[in-house]
């Protein structure tokens, strides 16, 4: 089993640089300074999210179902990936998502207070957010 190339330094979290490429077939070696692709710099969790997102053809409901997370969480993770790839995220839209998440948390806690759900159910729901 081959290991995946690291995109970030495990010590200081800075972007790594590839300095040597090798061909396993003819044993040619090339040395220099090469950038790691943007996707290699994503965390494993972000790569898994992008894989599910692409497999679902961007259908957020399918992503929600497969990962067991809420719409605001899907949007939040997507925004995090967009930022990690070096693109700007609309802060107004992000703020709206955060407000929606806060509202959902309040609803869960209110249901718990009223005894409509158990503490275990509340914990499970909160972890999905």
Q: What is the pLDDT of residues 64-115, one digit of tens each?
A: 999 998 888 898 899 999 998 989 887 666 666 677 777 788 888 888 889 9
Measured distance CA(91)–CA(15) in Å, rounded: 25
- Cα gap 16→77, rounded to integer Å: 23
Q: What is the pTM of this model?
A: 0.56
pLDDT at 51 over 80: yes
Helix 44-55 × helix 71-84 angle, to 10°: 120
Give me the numbers of helices (H) and strands (E) for the chain, helices first please: 5, 2
Average pLDDT, the chain: 85
């Amino acid at each position: 089993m081959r290991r995946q190339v690291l995109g970030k330094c495990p010590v200081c979290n800075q972007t790594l640089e590839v300095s040597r490429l090798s061909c396993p077939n003819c044993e040619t070696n090339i040395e220099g300074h090469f950038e790691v692709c943007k996707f290699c710099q994503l965390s494993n969790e972000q790569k898994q999210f992008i894989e599910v997102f692409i497999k679902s053809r961007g259908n957020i409901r399918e992503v929600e179902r497969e990962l067991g997370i809420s719409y605001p969480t899907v949007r939040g993770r997507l925004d995090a990936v967009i930022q990690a790839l070096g693109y700007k995220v609309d802060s107004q839209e992000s703020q709206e998502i955060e407000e929606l998440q806060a509202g959902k948390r309040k609803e869960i806690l209110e249901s718990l207070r009223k005894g409509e759900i158990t503490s275990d159910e509340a914990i499970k729901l909160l972890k999905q957010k």
